[in-house]
Amino acid sequence: MTPFKIAVPDAVLEDLRRRLAATRWPRPVPRGGGWAYGADLGYMKDLVDYWLNRFDWRAQERRLNRFAQFKADVGGIGVHFIHEKGRGPNPVPLLLLHGFPWSVAMFEKIIPMLTDPASHGGDPADSFTVVAPSLIGFGFSDAAPEQGFQFVKQADTLRELMVGPLGYTRFGVQGGDWGGIICTPLGYQYPQNVIGMSQNYMGVTIRQEHTPAPNEIRGHGMETAPLCPTDPETLKFWKIFEAWCEGEGGYRHIQMTRPQTLAYAMSDSPAGLAAWIAEKLRAWSDCGGDVETVFTKDEILTTVMLYWLECSFSSAIRIYYETKHHPWKLKPGDCVTTPAAFTAFPKEHTPIFKSRAAAYYSDIRRFTEMKRGGHFAAFECPEDLAGELRAFFRPLRGKETLP
């Protein structure tokens, strides 16, 4: 494990400027189309102009380097992570997990609230020591070295990071998007290590919810759904997910089926990469259609940069392909027994229902429905999520062993 500082070579930034200046724009969509066809052309021209002429990467680099960062060799994979010690009498180690198209930069607001609650209106007894890794293949972490490296292998590697180089034999976990999905195998396979798991995203492929028939025909994303749900809440969940697959799931399908083909464009065109990411930040956040009510241009571009700098878009989206082709689900009748908490945000694209969570997690200690917030909860509503984490882990404190 070695200290890590973000220090991008000038040549990389000069190459980026050259590419941005030479952006070849697509033809416009019909008048009034706006974001309905995808990333709005006018907005993207404005964003790229800002990127080229006003965005200061070195300032973002300095800001991110305020956090203690490291890179550790875990089973031959270099894992980049933030490691911020808690300020309190007994900080609980907390593994903080992002997803796509996130980055560890989206934890910038919430990390100080967790490590130093006294400075943010909380009790120092509720402090956490935060470990926030770049998922394998994302940002400054290495790409997975072999095929089949899906979310369960992410869980295995990150658990080894915690108990190996860091020495945290007992720790908590919080995750959204892929981070929330990774929580499930972490809690299921390693209850001896995980004292509690908090999720603001649950996913859909936790367990097969019906027995597929040989002559069955299914639409994209609906392979695990029951054919004719009779429970009203189950039916509501799958209807919402069906509509999301139809209206929003195209990105997911191509990343699950042909990630490398897409990666050529995203690795060559910074404007294309920014469009792919900015459109999702707008669609999935609680922004009311104006992405900059939630994310500033600097914040959007900092996340885009963490995919651009190491050319990691291609290795990041492989998690979709590997999970589709190497699936993992709970066995029939099995449940996750690790204490769990769920925080349901109203603009989350795949909602969490308590009855559905209870079918897979047998020890739900806390379930909170929030009044605002979307898919990027740790960034959009850091105070709310930090409060939930403090409340959930408070009775679990004392059950961890620190190094």
Active-site residue, selected from the candidate residues 83, 98, 349, 375: 375
Which one, of 172, 63, 58, lies nearest residue 108 by Cα? 63
Dist. CA 170–CA 361, nearest whole Å: 19
According to DSSP, residue 298 is labeled H
Q: Is 50 a catalytic residue?
A: no
Amino acid type, 147: Q
Strand, coil or helix: what is 37?
helix
Q: Is 177 a catalytic residue?
A: yes
Report CA Rg, the chain: 21
Pairing of strands 92-97, 69-74: unpaired
Active-site residue, selected from the candidate residues 177, 251, 321, 349: 177
For the beta sheet containing 171-175, the strands, ordered from the edge strand earlier in sequence to the opposite edge, are 2-3, 69-74, 77-84, 128-133, 92-97, 171-175, 194-199, 340-344, 364-369
Q: Which residue has the tokens 């605002």?
A: 372
Q: Is 307 a catalytic residue?
A: no
Pairing of strands 128-133, 364-369: unpaired
136 — phi, psi (to 5°)?
A: -55, 125
Buried b (16+ CB within 10 A) or exposed e, 222-247: ebbbeeebeeeebeebbeebbebbee
Q: Which residue has the tokens 């597929």?
A: 212
Buried b (16+ CB within 10 A) or exposed e, 389-403: bbebbeebbeebeee
Active-site residue, selected from the candidate residues 43, 188, 201, 320: 320
Dist. CA 261–CA 16, nearest whole Å: 21
Dist. CA 230–CA 13, nearest whole Å: 56
Which sequence positions are flagged as catalytic?
A: 177, 320, 375
